[in-house]
Amino acid sequence: MNLLETDSAALLAAVRRVLIAKGVLTDAEIADRIAKTEQASPALGARMVAKGWLEPDYRALLLEDGTKAAETLGIMIRGAPPLGVLENTPLVHNLVVCTLCSCYPRAVLGYPPFWFKSAAYRARAVRDPRGVLAEWGTLLPDNVRVRVVDSTADYRWMVLPQRPAGTEGWDEAQLAAIVREGDMIGVTVPDGARLREKTLYPER
């Protein structure tokens, strides 16, 4: 049988049994890892972004050492790949993709959205990033450079978006509420007006 055509659930079950039988992993370790991954959600990354918008020192830490910045907020990164944070500026817009597989900063954003793993996104983000952004409704001014960050090896990358106008005087929770998963991947940018639509995203 061709491995690539095997039913993925059956393949997963078989690999899991083999790893446990060989003593590479235990059931408890697998359960623990699944539980940790399921605890993470984009709300964690959004909190980091909001704090970065409010506190210059925290922003500096985010850009220098994303792992440390996450751990400062009690988000455990240990055992996961190091986290890098990419800063959007008035002149640079970052877009994260993993063309080789689906590397994703799960510790701070949770499970990747389905489209992040799709062949279409992986192929197009790196070749036609502006076309992809336009389809998301993200239209950049002409003087903004696009920087596609292809996550190929040991780091996981998240975007620190620009704080939108109209959010002056907001506190951390209010700011975090407008930061979405896509804003931290770079397909979209946060919008202050989105707070009015918060009922659409009750989990944030």
Partner 1 sequence: MTGFAAGTAVRVRDDWPETRGPVHIRTPHYLRGMRGEVVRPLGAFPNPEDLAFARTAPVIPLYHVRFDQPSIWGEGRSGDEVVVEIFEHWLEPV
Note the residues at the interface with partner 1 (CB under 8 A): 82, 84, 99-100, 126-130, 145-155
Toward partner 1, which CB reaches closer, 50 or 70?
A: 70
Toward partner 1, which CB reaches closer, 124 or 204?
A: 124
Shortest distance, CB of residue 45 to partner 1, whole angstroms? 20
| AA letter at 91 | L
Contact by Cβ (8 Å): 48, 61: no
Toward partner 1, which CB reaches closer, 36 or 130?
A: 130
Q: Catalytic residue among 41, 98, 118, 151, which? A: 98
Q: Is-catalytic flag, 103?
A: yes
Q: Terminus-to-terminus CA distance in the chain, angstroms? A: 45
Query: Which stretches of 112-170 are assigned E, i.e. beta strand?
Result: 145-150, 156-160
Shortest distance, CB of residue 149 to partner 1, whole angstroms? 5
Q: In sequence order, which residues have a C-beta less than 8 Å from that of residue 167 and are 6 or more positions away?
A: 53, 174, 175, 178, 192
- Give the whole-angstrom CA distance, residue 112 versus residue 115: 8
Shortest distance, CB of residue 203 to partner 1, whole angstroms? 31
Shortest distance, CB of residue 135 to partner 1, whole angstroms? 16
Please name the residue ranges forming H helices in 66-112. Answer: 66-72, 106-109
Contact by Cβ (8 Å): 159, 94: yes
Q: Is-catalytic flag, 118?
A: no
Toward partner 1, which CB reaches closer, 53 or 88?
A: 88
Catalytic residue positions? 98, 101-103
